[in-house]
Amino acid sequence: MSTSPCQPSRQPLVTIAIPVLNEASLLPGLLTALRMQTWPREAMQVIFVDGGSEDDTVPLIRSFAETFPQVLILINPNRLAAAGLNLALSHAQGMYFLRLDARSRPAPDYIETCVAYLQTGQWMGVSGPQIACGRHLAGKAIALALNHPLGAGGPSYRRARKPANSDTLYLGAYPTSLLRELQGWHEQFAANEDYELNHRIRKRGGRLLVAPDIHIQYIARDRLRELFSQYARYGSWRVETLRLHPRAIRFRHLAPAVWSAALGLSLLALPISPWPIWLILLPYLFAITFASMHMTLFQHPGLFFRVWLAFPTMHLGWGIGFWCRLLTKRLPCAIMSR
């Protein structure tokens, strides 16, 4: 059976769940994208789950609700996205359940295309590739690094050029009944909750699709400190995934942890010999320098140094988060701050 979606013969109700926490600066872009959807508004149930925002997030949502017939605003005292998604799931009325967040920018036909693929019955979850973009100069540099295979790796959910099976999805769209059968997201996870959920879907025989004609963008962070904290959390919670699902881990998931451990050991060996650190650093520095030049030399020459710095920020953040969680079962407070 072809992977191309057929046009849906009907327009079922779709639930869109959006966890938010102090997202006033990013939320307007998402709200605009929702207003531009080709899917009819009367077939959209939009559920915002607020973790206790102290900015203008909730007033923005209330203003948005005036233009949509079915908008819910729920309070998430747990504050974590996984708990918020489960809360939204408990109130979901739609046949399909789509996750979005304030950093996502779905194309106008995003909901329509996701539903069309789900209606073929071939897939238990679908999404488009996660394409990073930036609002400001620093964010654009970080986005370039994120989109490069050397940055966040080369999984299909980031780089699919044709419809492909995937281990996980960026945000994703699912049948609501499936999510309820699986009891939703694992609320223990403060990050990596999507991968854990998608692993359980695949474990029961479900197939996940990443299709390049499902268009959605991700707004990258603007500061290296925020990027470091983000990837430290990713690395940290990958340890919990490893403990819960040992067979779910791929070598590419552990590459930053292996590299950061080798770098740390080579620093300890420095009083004895400088060769280990050179063997670790020189190939790495060559690789990130070449990648940064390749991406910026002709189109973005002013971004070279920012892109170059983004690579070790991600890799060291991930590795430090992984080893902190593995050895101490926690992350330092300074890393946990966003």
**Domain regions of the chain by residue span:** 14-222, 226-336
Q: Say how far apart CA 152 and CA 218 lie, in whole Å.
A: 13
Mean pLDDT of 188-208: 91
Bigger pLDDT: 169 vs 162: 169
Supply the pTM of this predicted model.
Answer: 0.88
Mean pLDDT of 324-334: 73
Q: Say how far apart CA 164 and CA 32 lie, in whole Å.
A: 29
337 pLDDT exceeds 80? no
Give the model's pLDDT for residue 44. 96
173 pLDDT exceeds 90? yes
| pLDDT grade for 5, boundaries at 50, 70 and 90 | low
pLDDT tens figures, 276-317: 889 999 999 999 999 999 999 877 888 999 999 999 999 999
- Judge whether 174 and 100 are in contact, CB under 8 Å: no
Ramachandran angles phi, psi of 2, nearest 5°: -70, 150
Give the model's pLDDT for residue 153. 60
Mean pLDDT of 256-268: 89
For residues 171, 115, 210 and 138, what is the CA-based torsion angle, rounded to 10 degrees?
Answer: -40
251 pLDDT exceeds 80? no
Bigger pLDDT: 314 vs 2: 314
Give the model's pLDDT for residue 1. 39
Give the model's pLDDT for residue 306. 95
Q: Is 135 exposed, middle or buried (CB count within 10 Å of its CB: 0-12, 13-18, 19+)?
A: middle
Give the model's pLDDT for residue 2. 42
Give the model's pLDDT for residue 97. 98
- Bridge partner residues of 265 (DSSP): none
Residue 297: partners with Cβ closer than 8 Å, 6 or more residues away: 304
The three-state secondary structure class of 126 is: strand
28 pLDDT exceeds 50? yes
Identify the CATH number of the domain defined by range 14-222. Answer: 3.90.550.10
Ramachandran angles phi, psi of 105, nearest 5°: -135, 85
| pLDDT grade for 227, boundaries at 50, 70 and 90 | very high
Mean pLDDT of 210-235: 94
Mean pLDDT of 80-109: 96
| pLDDT grade for 157, boundaries at 50, 70 and 90 | low
Helices (H), 119-216: 137-147, 149-152, 156-159, 176-181, 193-203
